[in-house]
């Protein structure tokens, strides 16, 4: 479904992504795990079509993403840990505005997510806690029941209860055949909901043996 071929990104004369290759099948849940400044965010933004690669290809369902970004993006929903939300309107109003941009709202899934995360639709966005704002962001992604969902550190600021709720929604989306890509620094948070793990370091994917060697080196050096 998604195929990345020889992806390269150079920014300010620095090589950020280094001929990266990855294929993700329809219905897979893939974790892409790495430390800060490993290239995770750059790769995430390229998958979304938010930034263009210096070279290489991103192919979705047989089509180049860069050639038809509108067709690509309508199947992708990004939840960022720094998602911008309106401050002076209610959650209900915000979701109403948000839903106008999409024709594929799934009402039953929307109600399920609202109830699961205990979202009070009358609350004002600017009065929400960081975790509550993040839950609203997740509802925005989930209510579209996307065929492809890309998430950036989705559990980082969730409390234990909402982490469990998050896992429930992901598993339900998996049962519908959604393809899910999760970028994270913390494998433990997402390992149980992903059926495949890829490690990224210095702009390229590394194998498990390389990862284990890095971990041993880090431990021995402390």
What is residue 65's predicted lDDT score, i.e. its pLDDT?
63
pTM of the model: 0.84
Domain 2-220 indexed as CATH 3.40.50.300: yes
User: DSSP letters of 115-138?
Assistant: HHTT--TTSBGGGS-HHHHHHHHH
Tens digit of pLDDT for each residue in 71-97? 565 556 666 544 565 788 999 998 998
pLDDT at 216 over 80: no
pLDDT at 126: 86
Listing DSSP states for 130-176 in one string gives HHHHHHHHHHHHHTT--SEEEEESTTTT--HHHHHHHHHHHHHHHHT
- Strand ordering across the sheet containing 76-79: 76-79, 148-152, 179-184, 29-33, 196-201, 204-206
Reported as half-sphere exposure (CB side, CA atoms, 13 A), residue 80 has a value of 11
20 DSSP β-pair partners: 7
Exposed/middle/buried for residue 15 (C-beta within 10 Å: 0-12, 13-18, 19+): middle
Domain positions in the chain are 2-220
**Is pLDDT of 219 > 80?**
no
In tens, the pLDDT along 130-171 reads 899 899 989 988 888 888 888 888 998 999 999 999 999 999
């Amino acid at each position: 479904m998604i195929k990345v071929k020889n992806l390269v990104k150079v920014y300010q004369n620095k090589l950020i992504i280094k001929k990266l290759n990855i294929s993700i099948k329809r219905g897979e849940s893939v974790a892409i795990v790495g430390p800060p400044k490993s290239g995770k965010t750059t790769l995430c933004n390229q998958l979304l079509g938010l930034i263009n690669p210096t070279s290489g290809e991103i192919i979705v369902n047989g089509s180049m993403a860069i050639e038809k970004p509108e067709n690509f993006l309508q199947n992708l929903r990004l939840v960022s840990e720094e998602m911008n939300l309106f401050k002076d309107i209610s959650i209900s109003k915000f979701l109403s505005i948000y839903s106008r941009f999409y024709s594929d709202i799934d009402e039953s899934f929307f109600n399920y997510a609202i109830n699961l995360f205990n979202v009070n639709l009358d609350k004002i966005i600017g009065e929400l806690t960081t975790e509550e704002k993040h839950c609203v962001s997740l509802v925005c992604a989930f209510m579209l029941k996307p065929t492809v969902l890309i998430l950036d550190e989705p559990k980082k600021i969730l409390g234990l209860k909402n982490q469990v709720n998050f896992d429930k929604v992901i598993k339900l989306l998996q049962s519908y055949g959604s393809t899910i890509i999760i970028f994270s620094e913390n494998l433990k948070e997402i390992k149980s909901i992903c059926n495949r793990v890829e490690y990224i370091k210095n702009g390229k994917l590394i194998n498990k043996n390389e990862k284990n060697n890095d971990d041993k080196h880090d431990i021995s050096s402390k």
